[in-house]
Amino acid sequence: EPTGADDSPTLELAGLQLDRRDFMKAGAATGAMTALGGCVGGLTDTGGSGAGTSSGGGGKSTADHKVPPGEHDEYYGFWSGGHSGEIRVIGIPSMRVLTRIPVFNPEPAKGYGFDDQSKQVLEEGGGYSWGDNHHPALSETGGDYDGEYLFVNDKANGRIARIDLKYFETDAILDVPNVQAVHGFTVQSPDTEYIFGNGEFRTPLPNDGRDLDSPDSYESLFSAIDPESMETQFQVRVDGNLDILDTDKDGRWAIASAYNSEEAVTISGMTHDDRDYVKAFDVPAIEKLVEQGKYDEEVNGVPIVDGTKESPHNSGSNPIVRYVPTPKSPHCVEVGPNGKYAFVAGKLSPTVTMLDIEKLGEVDDPADAVAGRPKVGLGPLHTTFDGNGHAYTSLFIDSQVAKWDIEKAVEAETGSTEPILEKQDVHYNPGHIQAVEAMTTDPDGEWLVSLNKLSKDRFLNVGPIHPDNDQLIHIGEGEKEMEVVADHPAYPEPHDCVFAHKDKISPKRVYDKADVDGEFVTESASGVERTGEESVNVKLSAKRSEYGLADFTVKEGDEVTMTVTNIEGVADIVHGVAVPEHDVHVAVAPQDTREATFTVDEPGVYWIYCTYFCSALHLEMRSRMLVEPR
């Protein structure tokens, strides 16, 4: 039994009667924190307590998740990499890591952040060398993944990246103006005309040294970005701290969880009141204000609309932002596949608050849009869906996944456990959970992954920084069929993932010439061209097993721009170009051209070599860079 709940009398919360014992009232924030930590420390076995609990992890599995050698997975899984800054591509159901996509992190294996093109992406994105990505989202057309882009946020530096799924490569990073942290992040459904990000931390606006210690004037901003131009179209300032975000399935509402309605700067201050407010943004209404020039100010080139409670835009009968009261400090908002409800996980409250999305625009009092509030267990963080009317909620404190019936929860009384069908133990402390195709209007069910923050003793000891444990769960179609079928150690620290059927993603095997910027360097075009007193262009073709030049000469102090084309037309033959002692590595896939610019400061002989094992003569694939003294 977790500790840390306090025993004061019943608490009335937004119409919900809850025992203080259940509710991690966060006036007792320290108590809640103790509970989070204490539970973890005390979990030496499966940790399950309730009836109907399936024991996780051990024994034999009935669900076949093995993918035989040479066969393919059914789904692409795109995992955020947390503060590693990368995306990981993992096959479902095998859980094999297929590749990694560097996003906010320079990464030599793919030459990302080393060649001039990817350096520019990182530079334009602010020039940081890491990021903290949490929420990967696939672009949609007609409520389904269209396979064009994957987007992801950087919480650490307030950025958003776009990955081109034609090449599984980051092609743009936007440093979102006026915000310090982009946490909640999603694409617009059913058609991705915007991508939306929640600025979580409140800061002065603009954050230029004014109002340093005047928290009352700090702002939290919701941002709408054009996915093609990657430019911020407008921002909306609101009360409190924005957290997680999802959109409805009709292109109208973007719904954000939020905490700290007190607008405090200490944990005790942030947990003083009894409730917080989900913010539902009426996107077309805000868009219209912006188009008519009726925004309130423009900061760093972005129109900013006042969406605070006191805003005149919120005083009429059609407020642009609806403030729906919820129990204190909720975590995630996820919208179900049919678009009927938004699910707000309680975190400190053992409930999930369901919002009737249609009612959001109809009721006078936003609280009347609450459609249900089942009691799912302790520490609910995230909810996902199958196609059979079930919701699955991760329970961080209970270390479980609760499966429940959505419509039953609407019929049941607030705080009822009746809709709960089954609970599955996971190891340990799940954050996000995700079922296959769950963000579309037509999820497949069958597989769900629980992204558990701690693995404790589940794997060989690899030192004090343990891997996370991503557990694959077969969810079946019936009511009580959840089964953990695989443990999967994860490098720090995935938060979330999204799974698309393999038929919806069609990456290229070699580059299309039309997509490559940079001169295609043929063998005969290989050569050295002096462009200035201290600058020189070196053009190199690459094929098995030679570069276009066996050697070339440059001068001490030269700035060398090296252009390399892989002239191979055959898939899977990649060549690398390593320039020793110059911090240069370029990876060039078939038909691609990359450039690298560097300065040669020390005279001498430098053996350039190929890093990808491309042929039996791979070791011999070299060129000599001769740097003459000046």
- Please report whether residue 618 would count as binding ligand CUA according to CB under 6 A: yes
CB of 132 to ligand CUK, least distance (A): 9
CB of 88 to ligand CUK, least distance (A): 15
Q: Which is nearer to ligand CUA, 275 or 622 (CB)?
A: 622
Strands 468-476, 483-486: pairing is antiparallel
Q: Which is nearer to ligand CUA, 130 or 609 (CB)?
A: 609
Among 14, 436, 538, 610, binds ligand CUA (CB under 6 A): 610
Element (H, E) at 535: strand 535-543
Which of the stretches 56-64, 191-199, 364-372, 613-621 binds ligand CUA when contact is defined by CB under 6 A? 613-621
Partner whose footprint covers residue 432, from ligand CUK, ligand CUA, none (CB < 5 to 8 Å by kind): ligand CUK
Q: How many residues bind ligand CUA (CB under 6 A)?
A: 7
Cβ-based neighbour number of residue 314 at 10 Å: 17
CB of 575 to ligand CUK, least distance (A): 38
CB of 576 to ligand CUA, least distance (A): 7
584-610 burial, b if ≥16 CB within 10 A, otherwise e?
A: bbbbbbbbbbbbbebebeeeeebebbb
Partner whose footprint covers residue 252, from ligand CUA, ligand CUK, none (CB < 5 to 8 Å by kind): none
Q: Which is nearer to ligand CUA, 420 or 564 (CB)?
A: 564
Q: Which residue has the tokens 């940079």?
A: 518
Q: Which is nearer to ligand CUK, 84 or 537 (CB)?
A: 84
512: left (phi over 0), alpha (psi -120 to 50) or beta: beta
- Please report whether residue 614 would count as binding ligand CUA according to CB under 6 A: yes
Contact set for ligand CUA, span 564-593 (CB under 6 A): 575
- Please report whether residue 621 would count as binding ligand CUA according to CB under 6 A: yes
Distance of alpha carbon 217 from alpha carbon 551, whole angstroms: 62
Residues of the shown chain interacting with ligand CUK in the complex, contacts defined by CB under 6 A: 134-135, 183, 244, 331-332, 381-382, 431-432, 495-496
356-372 burial, b if ≥16 CB within 10 A, otherwise e?
A: bbbebeeeeebeebbbb
CB of 375 to ligand CUK, least distance (A): 20
Partner whose footprint covers residue 610, from ligand CUA, ligand CUK, none (CB < 5 to 8 Å by kind): ligand CUA
CB of 507 to ligand CUK, least distance (A): 26
Is residue 410 classed as helix, strand or coil in its secondary structure? helix
Please give the C-alpha separations between residue 148 and each of 110, 118, 323, in angstroms, as whole numbers.
21, 19, 34
Partner whose footprint covers residue 459, from ligand CUA, ligand CUK, none (CB < 5 to 8 Å by kind): none
Nearest Cα to Cα of residue 439 among 230, 222, 185, 193: 185
Any idea what the Cα angle at residue 66 is, between residues 62 and 72, rounded to 5°?
140
Which of the stretches 12-20, 140-148, 288-296, 610-618 binds ligand CUA when contact is defined by CB under 6 A? 610-618
Partner whose footprint covers residue 621, from ligand CUA, ligand CUK, none (CB < 5 to 8 Å by kind): ligand CUA
Q: Which is nearer to ligand CUK, 450 or 537 (CB)?
A: 450
Q: Residue 554 corresponds to which tokens in the numbers above?
A: 């440059």
DSSP codes joined into one string, 278-305 = EEEEEHHHHHHHHHTT--SEEETTEEEE
DSSP codes joined into one string, 219-288 = BEEEEEE-TTT--EEEEEEESSEEEEEEE-SSSSEEEEEEE-TT--SSHHHHT-SSEEEEEEEEHHHHHH
Q: Which is nearer to ligand CUK, 158 or 431 (CB)?
A: 431
What long-range pairs does 524-527 form, CB within 8 A, spacing at least 24?
Answer: 527/552
Q: Which is nearer to ligand CUK, 135 or 249 (CB)?
A: 135
Q: Can you say whether the dihedral through the CA atoms of 164, 168, 171, 177 is positive or negative?
A: positive
Cβ-based neighbour number of residue 44 at 10 Å: 8
Q: Which is nearer to ligand CUK, 240 or 548 (CB)?
A: 240
Q: Which is nearer to ligand CUA, 72 or 624 (CB)?
A: 624
Contact set for ligand CUA, span 516-575 (CB under 6 A): 575
Start-to-end CA distance of the chain, whole Å, equals 75
Q: Which is nearer to ligand CUK, 47 or 431 (CB)?
A: 431
Among 74, 405, 612, 627, binds ligand CUA (CB under 6 A): 612
Please give the residue ranges that form the binding site for ligand CUA (CB under 6 A): 575, 610, 612-614, 618, 621
